[in-house]
């Protein structure tokens, strides 16, 4: 720096007040502390969480869907560009044929990796998709915990209780002790599931290395092909992306595994090729993990890849009849459904949503299931023996000592931009209003309704594919 530059700095310093100098010093100190903090440190996590909360609030106030129907910069062929990983367990293995049939119904024929916590058995060799893909031809089944143990990724952890439980299950299956296997599978399935996430993705990276996107599902999750194509075609698979339905606090924000988890090829490469030592440490943590989806998230945080909550409104963790149709996502495509463990439920969803002619929006779920439209709720706003709110949580508002159902309806209408549905319980004179509506649940003695005026106003603004 020359004499002129130093003179200008002295002049600027002289013009600043004492408090301005203190403020600049604090800002610079904070910046240095932030950029030198660990990628998975509490400081970064706290500010990232607050930033996401602000962005989420803004998106809720100004929902937008027009960008989805603009020309895609990164169009994909779902059957060739997506690798699907489906997690199952011994206690839920009966779901797999239904899950594969549901994918076939919507003509979704990607390469599929089935990961489980027990040795492959004879009946699983019949898994197939209707396009001819089967085991060994586009579908691979692997005992992912056995694979991780055999290659030494859990070295030093063999004595852990969770590993013993896995070995007991594997021994029972190999000995064809089916009753014992069934009991063990149901009792310890959730513990073993926490150990599947990281090895499943690592195995997928080695066996399906050139996919643009990787989608991890539970065996009771149904994913909609058209939504995947529409969203992912706007995202650069060459950049790290990690998408899902966020849960948890700022210290360990992670995507709900049942809602599906999506990772770009760049994310997989960053983790498994460029940072194997971090992956190795995470494998050793897995016997202690409560949630495998959280372990995956905290591992990715160590390499500066964080859950992107920008697209949270696409994801759904409920089955259709309990799906919450929030006001701020009615115009967006829905990614899928979860909790379809019952045979009839998965079969029904697979039939209803097969080969949809256009993107399946949140708002169209009600129409698909034959629920009255918003105009019908404007004409007849009060429905006896029904509940359109469903389970209550902190987003709901409860009003006590409400005299009658008409008063509850009026309260909802006064909250004209935030109340999507209401339910009134006459015996206790309680009114509950919610920023979402469900398709409807029978509720003897109650009165309920949907804010048809708000719903119609929002849906009328939706864009359509060009």
Tens digits of residue pLDDT in 171-229 = 999 999 999 999 999 999 999 999 999 999 999 999 999 999 999 999 999 999 999 99
Q: Which of 354, 365, 377, 353 lies closest to 329, judged by CA?
A: 365
pLDDT of residue 44: 79
What are the tokens at 270?
């960053």
pLDDT of residue 136: 83
Per-residue pLDDT at 170 exceeds 80:
yes
Per-residue pLDDT at 466 exceeds 70:
no
Q: How far apart are CA 385 and CA 390, in angstroms?
A: 13
Q: How far apart are CA 196 and CA 88, in angstroms?
A: 9
Q: Which of 204, 301, 294 lies closest to 254, judged by CA?
A: 294
Q: Which of 332, 354, 289 lies closest to 463, judged by CA?
A: 332
Strands 82-87, 213-218: pairing kind: parallel
- pLDDT tens, residue by residue, 18-66: 777 677 766 775 565 656 656 777 877 788 888 888 888 988 888 889 9
Q: Which of 116, 115, 137, 118 lies closest to 126, judged by CA?
A: 137
- Between the alpha carbon of residue 237 and those of residues 232, 263, 319, the distances in Å are 8, 9, 29
Contact yes or no for 268/169 (Cβ under 8 A): no
Q: Which of 232, 219, 202, 187 lies closest to 72, judged by CA?
A: 232
Q: How far apart are CA 244 and CA 308, in angstroms?
A: 8
- Between the alpha carbon of residue 193 and those of residues 186, 226, 257, 391, 395, the distances in Å are 11, 28, 11, 27, 30
Question: What is the percentage of the chain residues whose pLDDT exceeds 90?
Answer: 79
| Secondary-structure class of domain 78-314 per CATH | alpha beta
**pLDDT band for position 9 (cuts 50, 70, 90):** low
Specify the fold of 372-466. Answer: Hepatocyte Growth Factor (3.50.4)
Q: Which of 399, 397, 377 lies closest to 451, judged by CA?
A: 377
pLDDT of residue 14: 66
- pLDDT tens, residue by residue, 378-410: 999 999 999 999 999 999 999 999 999 999 999
What are the tokens at 366?
């009600």
Domain boundaries, the chain: 3-36, 78-314, 372-466
SS3 333: strand
78-314 and 372-466 share one fold: no
Contact yes or no for 91/210 (Cβ under 8 A): no
- Between the alpha carbon of residue 115 and those of residues 93, 118, 398, 446, the distances in Å are 11, 9, 44, 45
pLDDT averaged over every residue in the chain: 92
Average pLDDT over residues 309-323: 97
Residues constituting the chain? 466
Strands 138-143, 111-116: pairing kind: parallel
Contact yes or no for 419/451 (Cβ under 8 A): yes
Give the predicted TM-score (pTM) of the model. Answer: 0.92
Q: How far apart are CA 212 and CA 269, in angstroms?
A: 11
Q: How far apart are CA 139 and CA 86, in angstroms?
A: 11
Average pLDDT over residues 241-247: 98
């Amino acid at each position: 720096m020359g004499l002129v530059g130093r003179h200008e700095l002295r002049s600027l310093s002289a013009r600043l007040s004492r408090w301005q100098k203190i403020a600049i010093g604090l800002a610079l100190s904070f910046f240095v502390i932030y950029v030198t903090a660990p990628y998975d440190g509490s400081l970064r996590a706290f500010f990232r969480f607050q930033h996401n909360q602000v962005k989420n609030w803004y998106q809720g106030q100004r929902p937008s869907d027009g960008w989805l129907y603009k020309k895609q910069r990164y169009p994909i062929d779902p059957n060739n560009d997506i690798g699907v990983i489906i997690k199952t367990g011994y206690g839920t293995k009966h779901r797999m044929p239904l899950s594969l049939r549901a994918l076939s119904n919507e003509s979704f024929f990607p390469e599929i990796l089935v990961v489980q916590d027990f040795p492959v058995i004879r009946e699983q060799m019949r898994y197939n998709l209707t396009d001819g893909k089967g085991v060994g031809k586009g579908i691979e089944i692997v005992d992912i915990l056995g694979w991780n143990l055999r290659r030494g990724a859990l070295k030093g952890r063999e004595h852990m209780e969770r590993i013993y439980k896995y070995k007991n299950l594997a021994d029972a299956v190999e000995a064809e002790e089916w009753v014992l296997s069934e009991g063990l599978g149901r009792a310890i399935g959730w513990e073993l599931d926490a150990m599947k996430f990281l090895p499943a993705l690592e195995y997928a990276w080695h066996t399906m290395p050139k996919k643009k996107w990787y989608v991890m599902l539970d065996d009771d999750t149904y994913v909609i092909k058209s939504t995947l194509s529409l969203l992912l075609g706007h995202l650069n698979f060459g950049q790290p992306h990690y998408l899902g339905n966020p849960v948890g606090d700022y210290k360990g924000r992670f995507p709900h595994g049942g809602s599906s988890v999506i990772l770009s090829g760049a994310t997989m490469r960053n983790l498994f090729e460029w940072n194997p030592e971090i992956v190795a440490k995470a494998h050793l943590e897995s016997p202690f993990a409560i949630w495998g989806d959280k372990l995956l998230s905290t591992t990715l945080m160590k390499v500066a890849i964080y859950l992107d909550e920008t697209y949270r409104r696409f994801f759904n963790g409920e089955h259709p009849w309990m799906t919450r149709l929030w006001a701020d996502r009615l115009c967006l495509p829905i990614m899928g459904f979860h909790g379809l463990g019952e045979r009839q439920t998965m079969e029904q969803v697979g039939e209803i949503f097969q080969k949809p002619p256009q993107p399946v929006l949140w708002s169209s779920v009600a129409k698909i299931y034959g629920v009255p439209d918003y105009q019908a709720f404007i004409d007849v706003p009060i429905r006896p023996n029904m509940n359109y709110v469903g389970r209550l949580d902190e987003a709901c508002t409860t009003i006590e000592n409400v005299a009658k159902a008409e008063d509850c309806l009026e309260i909802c209408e006064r909250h004209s931009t935030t109340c999507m549905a209401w339910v009134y319980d006459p015996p206790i004179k309680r009114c509950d209003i919610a920023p979402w509506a469900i398709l409807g649940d029978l509720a003897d003695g109650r009165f309920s309704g949907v804010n048809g005026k708000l719903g119609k106003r929002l849906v009328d603004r939706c864009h359509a594919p060009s």
